[in-house]
């Protein structure tokens, strides 16, 4: 089970969260990653935590002012990248281009989608993993694994029907070890979460609770 913490643009200390995640991963043996803002990638990577970008663009070297180049993300120390998060949606052709750009730079990929039908479509693009995140539950107090378990099991089935080698994660409302445990029971091999850690007074305590069922 992979626990990936997306810091979005929350006003948290990315180094504090990253160090907490690195310590919890070392102590528990659970895979934990952190996705900070692009400007913080290098500093976060220096903590030793598995570091992820929040986005890369479907571009190559050249005249692309304001875009995020996959190679630059990799050079900053990132191990992987999210693509098509519900707060940064892309057209299918651009998702494909971003996946190819990430692969070119040696980055692992997680492509987000809103529902099982979209999960099937993006799985066909060959990412390392896909993540189902119903937008209406993102940032809420109820996890997708509790509020709508069928969407997780249907997403797992949709991905498997296209490519059994693509992992399926789930996100939206994940905030506790019980949520992580429920996600695993539904067939997910990873979870995405954000506010539960990024807005916590004690990120390490929250992370320790999240991984407890996995130890």
Just list the catalytic residues: 85, 133
Bridge-based pairing state of the strands 129-132 and 167-171? parallel
- From the list 26, 16, 163, 138, the residue with the least C-alpha distance to 82 is 138
Burial track 153-191 (b if 16+ CB lie within 10 A, e otherwise): bbbbebbeebeeebbbbbbbbbbbbbbbbbbbebbbebb
Binding residues: 6-8, 138, 173, 194-195
CA distance 206 to 43: 22
Binding residues for substrate: 6-8, 138, 173, 194-195
Question: Which three-class secondary structure state does DSSP give residue 130?
Answer: strand
């Amino acid at each position: 089970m992979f626990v990936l913490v997306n810091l979005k643009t929350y006003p948290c200390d990315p180094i504090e969260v990253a160090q907490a995640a690195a310590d919890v991963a070392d102590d528990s043996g659970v895979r934990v990653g952190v996705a900070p803002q692009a400007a913080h990638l290098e500093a976060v990577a220096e903590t030793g935590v598995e570091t992820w970008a929040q986005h890369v663009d479907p571009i190559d070297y050249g005249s692309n002012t304001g875009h995020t180049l996959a190679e630059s993300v990799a050079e900053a120390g990132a191990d992987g990248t999210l693509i098509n998060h519900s707060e940064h949606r892309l057209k299918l052709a651009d998702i494909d281009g971003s996946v190819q750009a990430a692969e070119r730079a040696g980055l692992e990929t997680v492509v987000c989608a809103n529902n099982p039908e979209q999960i099937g479509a993006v799985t066909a693009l060959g990412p390392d993993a896909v993540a189902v995140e119903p937008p209406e539950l993102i940032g809420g107090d109820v996890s997708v694994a509790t509020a709508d378990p069928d969407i997780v099991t249907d997403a797992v089935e949709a991905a498997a029907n296209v490519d059994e080698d693509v992992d399926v994660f789930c996100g939206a409302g994940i905030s506790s070890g019980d949520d992580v445990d429920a996600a695993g029971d539904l067939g997910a091999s990873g979870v995405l979460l954000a506010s539960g850690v990024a807005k916590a007074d004690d990120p390490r305590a929250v992370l320790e609770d999240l991984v407890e069922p996995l130890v």
